[in-house]
Structure 1
Amino acid sequence: MRTGGRPGRVNAVRVIAGLAVVALTATACAGEQVTGELQTVGEVAGLPVTHFESGLKDDAAKPDVRAEGATDAVEDRLALASIADVTDYWDEQMPEHFGEKFEHVDKLMSYDPEGEAQEVCGTSTRDMALNAFYCPPEDLVAWDRGVLLPLLREKFGDMAVAAVLAHEFGHAVQTRLGEKAGIDGGTSTIVKEQQADCFTGSYMRWIAEDKSKYFELSTSDGVNEVLGALFLIRDAPGSHANEQGAHGSGFDRTYAVQLGFEEGAKRCAEIDKTEVDERITEVPFKNATDQAQQGQAPITGGTMVHVQRSLDQAFSATGVDPPQIVEGDGTCQQGRSTPPVSYCEQNNEVHIDLTTLEKIGQPADQVGELTGKNSPDAGLGDFAVFSEVASRYVQGIQKGVGAPTEGGQAGLRTACLVGAWAKFANNPDSGSTLYLSPGDLDEAIAELLQPRSLLAADINGHRVANGFARIEALRNGYLEGSSVCTETYK
């Protein structure tokens, strides 16, 4: 995020108007530090929220699939089951939605980039660590079983392997559909990647509906794993969506997955350049200074002055006395505490532990994340901190207008309002002296997916169980503004 004055001003964000007044009673003891609890709320795109271990079914048959180089390693077994399963999916979907038979992928290959070198699609496997890909000239899907798949399984579980292979099959589907998906030789990479992510989401919905012979997927932790895996494989901040090979920011990729999960494969094939250009968030740094700093602002008391000012501007239309951000140990002397950031109802203040927040606000080590060798000094980035502070600030705003501040809907409304604030700050005419840099929205999502995150938590620090709903709420606020927060999360 960047700080600095900008000319102009727009009307303050319209926030939580028309909500019924609800009396709130503090239930915590003086100085109590609340441990966040997961809350099951609502549904996931029309499906019930379910809780069980996702992965291969206990009674899943051995798939009748062969791949060059495949071993008996668990990663290859999962990959082959994933391919058999996603093939079943497209055998069903292609005739139903596109009026044609799905021609199965011709070649499959498993390789170890640290093993014997082989040439695949014109490139040595030694140069393809942390990779899975579809090669159109050979109609080949290949995957790195030595580095990529073990990393994904360790970080996110078995469904991450299925997600990555489903994405590559999405590219094979594009090749077969051609004009039916708007794909030709001039189609930009980002459009193809958004479609493939969306196809992945539609396939995951099929599994969650218990239509798969091989896998089962819970709509809480299971879907969280899928979103986390594709979020991990995002472009670096400052990348341009029009570059060859662009996959999109984490914000963009999770959007596409959720779109497919909600609306299905036919909708995915409708994604085109016009749509992508309207909503894609992946943009380059605006100048050399911003690029040199990677868009990171220091986590200091001085920077928090800009955070306070921007939040006050964004929510001024509510007429509520704004909470004041106060440095300390991040706890309240009375009532509920959710350190390192707490909203203290008694004095309408947001108490912050700046030392802890400074550690969280250190730049992320994306290369370390991908290799499994994260730097011990790595954090999540500045906007992870600012959005966490904002999440407690909007507790005061919601309380001030009489909105419910406890429960799952309050947690989702919180994430939505943080997204609305990000939209306000990103408006060049807002007058905010704190404004977004490339990668900031990804930092918010990274924070949102943390077990300790307050970003989609109610006033007690209790967060919503399913990451799908948490990310969707933040995105709704950012893309549609604050009115959707009050209309959707009541």
Structure 2
Amino acid sequence: MNRTGGRGARLRALTATIGVFALLASACGTETQGRPLTSGDIAGLPVTHFESGLKPDAPKPDLDVQNADNGPEDTVAIAAIADVSAYWAQELPAHFSMEFEPVKKLLSYDPNEPDIEVCGATTADAAMNAFYCPSEDLVAWDRGMLLPLLKQRFGTMSIVTVLGHEFGHAIQYRLGDKAGVDDSTSTIVKEQQADCFTGSYFRWMAEGKSEYFDVSTSEGLNQVLASLFFIRDEAGQSAQEQGAHGTAFDRTYAFQLGFEDGAKECAAINQENIDERITEVPFAPDDVGQGDVMIDEAIVATLQENLDQTFAGAGVEGPRIVADGGSCPDGVSTPPASYCADTNTVSIDLPALAELGQPVDREAEFQGEEGNGGLGDFAAFSEIASRYVQGIQNGVGASLDSPNAGMRTACLVGAWAGATNTEGSTLRLSPGDLDEAIAELLRPHSLLAADVNGHPVASGFARVEALRQGYFGGSEPCTQNYG
């Protein structure tokens, strides 16, 4: 985040018409382990839990793939191409009044093996990549480095995600004017459409229509979102740059749009509606920390002021943030931040949050390592904010341990994040901050989408959607959807 100079201005107040509910009693002096809660649905589909991946009885694809080695990664990749082809063979006639034409060429390569010339370059130049080449109508993927890393880090569905995305580019060129795509179309429009098309494909899969794959709407979609997070653009990149794909927040937005509303909505993505919502922007000239501040007592005091300003319209006293270890002596504890209802305080473990707030180690990410354990300053801020909004909800009589409480919490944190963009805010979002929130949301024991007991919503898809609704809509959707 970026600390700003103006300290007297008031942020837009968030409404607090959450509704009055009874607060159920919590166990005293206990620390929770973050048992996930299953609640609601995923864009109208039930929340499901099972191992996602290639079906045991999946047919063998009848595809001609150059240089395939038939190893485990290629097996999944080739099945993904066959599967997404089957999806578009149904989708294009049904919703775009055109027949599907299969991709002419498919290439599997290992950049460590002898070079293969492709699309004006060589496979050595395409390490850690997958791509669609319009001039050759070719989809290619790195089975030697990229796919093994994705599978190891995020599971089988991450491979399907990448291939579904690249196939989305092939569909753009088939749709042409129907997708508003031509030689002048910006990269970000093409990439957002492709992510959206991937979401529509996964919806079809989640509805049980795929011959090749099963995907659960909890752990399976979590793999998808985690892989989209992994292949995000660097913080501070501009969406106007050639090659821009979007932040993790932008990419998951587009995927969820396709999953919820279908491929026709994806084809309607254009520069105008992207410009209205895109979060991929350069660092501001006064953002001297390039998006990172140290988590210390001074910045926590600024955060306290900022949260108090943001939620002034709730008509209740916000909790005090106290650095006394992150636990509640007489209530349930969710370190490194806990809401203590009896004292209306948020207890924080400042050293632990400072560690969480270290910048993400991108090099370690790409090597499949844990790195320094940091997720960025906004991950730490959002964990504190998640416990702060527990106090606001408690003050207006909302339930803190119902299945909806975690969703409402994530939504209210999103509303706070959106409010920091208001003129006069003492804290401002920096490029990459929302991605840090998504990184926190996708952790197994996320506090950002957890109830007062630390029990997070089971589905990462639902967690991210709740944050997004609050960010774009303020507190109103938090009340309407999760009251």
Q: Please state how far the C-alpha of 1:143 moved relative to its aligned partner.
A: 0.2
Deviation string 1:137-166 (CA, Å, 9 cap, x unpaired) is 010100000111011111111111111001
Q: Distance in 1 between matches of 2:81 and 2:159?
A: 10
Equivalent position amino acid for 2:376 in 1: G
Partner of 1:208: 206
Equivalent position amino acid for 2:22 in 1: A
Partner of 2:481: 488
Could you tell me whether the CA contact under 8 Å between 2:11 and 2:420 is conserved in 1? no
Could you tell me whether the CA contact under 8 Å between 1:202 and 1:260 is conserved in 2? yes
Could you tell me whether the CA contact under 8 Å between 1:193 and 1:247 is conserved in 2? yes
Q: Distance in 1 between matches of 2:321 and 2:368?
A: 36
Q: Distance in 2 between matches of 1:10 and 1:361?
A: 26
Q: How does 1:190-269 map to 2 (within 5 A)?
A: 190-269=188-267
Q: Distance in 2 between matches of 1:11 and 1:141?
A: 48
1:461 aligns with 2:454: yes
3-state DSSP of counterpart to 1:343? strand
Q: How does 1:330-409 map to 2 (within 5 A)?
A: 330-375=326-371, 377-409=372-404
Q: Please state how far the C-alpha of 1:13 moved relative to its aligned partner.
A: 2.2
Could you tell me whether the CA contact under 8 Å between 1:16 and 1:403 is conserved in 2? no
Partner of 1:94: 92
Unpaired segments ≥5 residues, structure 1: none
1:410 aligns with 2:405: yes
Q: How does 1:73-88 map to 2 (within 5 A)?
A: 73-88=71-86
Q: 1:373 to 1:38 in 2, by over 3 A?
A: closer
1:447 aligns with 2:446: no
TM-score (norm 1): 0.96
Q: Please state how far the C-alpha of 1:311 moved relative to its aligned partner.
A: 0.2
Q: Distance in 2 between matches of 1:266 and 1:25?
A: 44
1:14 aligns with 2:10: no
Partner of 1:28: 27
Q: Distance in 2 between matches of 1:344 and 1:115?
A: 58
Q: Distance in 1 between matches of 2:95 and 2:357?
A: 46
Could you tell me whether the CA contact under 8 Å between 2:445 and 2:455 is conserved in 1? no
Q: Distance in 2 between matches of 1:467 and 1:320?
A: 31
Q: Please state how far the C-alpha of 1:7 moved relative to its aligned partner.
A: 7.2
Q: Distance in 2 between matches of 1:224 and 1:242?
A: 29
3-state DSSP of counterpart to 1:408? coil
Q: Please state how far the C-alpha of 1:426 moved relative to its aligned partner.
A: 1.6
3-state DSSP of counterpart to 1:38? coil
Identity between Structure 1 and Structure 2 (%): 59
Q: Distance in 2 between matches of 1:269 and 1:371?
A: 35
Q: 1:26 to 1:423 in 2, by over 3 A?
A: same
Out of 49, 55, 58, the position equivalent to 1:57 is 55
Q: Distance in 2 between matches of 1:445 and 1:354?
A: 21
Could you tell me whether the CA contact under 8 Å between 2:11 and 2:425 is conserved in 1? no
Partner of 1:309: 305
Partner of 1:426: 421
Unpaired segments ≥5 residues, structure 2: none
Q: Distance in 2 between matches of 1:342 and 1:230?
A: 30
Could you tell me whether the CA contact under 8 Å between 2:164 and 2:198 is conserved in 1? yes
Q: Please state how far the C-alpha of 1:9 moved relative to its aligned partner.
A: 3.5
Q: Distance in 2 between matches of 1:294 and 1:440?
A: 11
Could you tell me whether the CA contact under 8 Å between 2:134 and 2:170 is conserved in 1? yes
Deviation string 1:187-226 (CA, Å, 9 cap, x unpaired) is 0000000000000000000011110110011111111111
Could you tell me whether the CA contact under 8 Å between 2:24 and 2:399 is conserved in 1? no
Equivalent position amino acid for 1:295 in 2: G
Partner of 2:66: 68
Q: Please state how far the C-alpha of 1:18 moved relative to its aligned partner.
A: 5.2
Q: Distance in 2 between matches of 1:440 and 1:89?
A: 35
Q: Distance in 2 between matches of 1:72 and 1:483?
A: 51
Deviation string 1:58-113 (CA, Å, 9 cap, x unpaired) is 11111111211100210001011000101101111111111111111000001111
Aligned residues: 483
Partner of 1:104: 102
RMSD: 1.3
1:127 aligns with 2:125: yes
Could you tell me whether the CA contact under 8 Å between 1:411 and 1:458 is conserved in 2? yes
Could you tell me whether the CA contact under 8 Å between 1:233 and 1:370 is conserved in 2? no
Q: Distance in 2 between matches of 1:368 and 1:285?
A: 23
Q: Distance in 1 between matches of 2:8 and 2:269?
A: 35
Q: Distance in 2 between matches of 1:204 and 1:320?
A: 43
Could you tell me whether the CA contact under 8 Å between 1:2 and 1:297 is conserved in 2? yes
3-state DSSP of counterpart to 2:386? helix
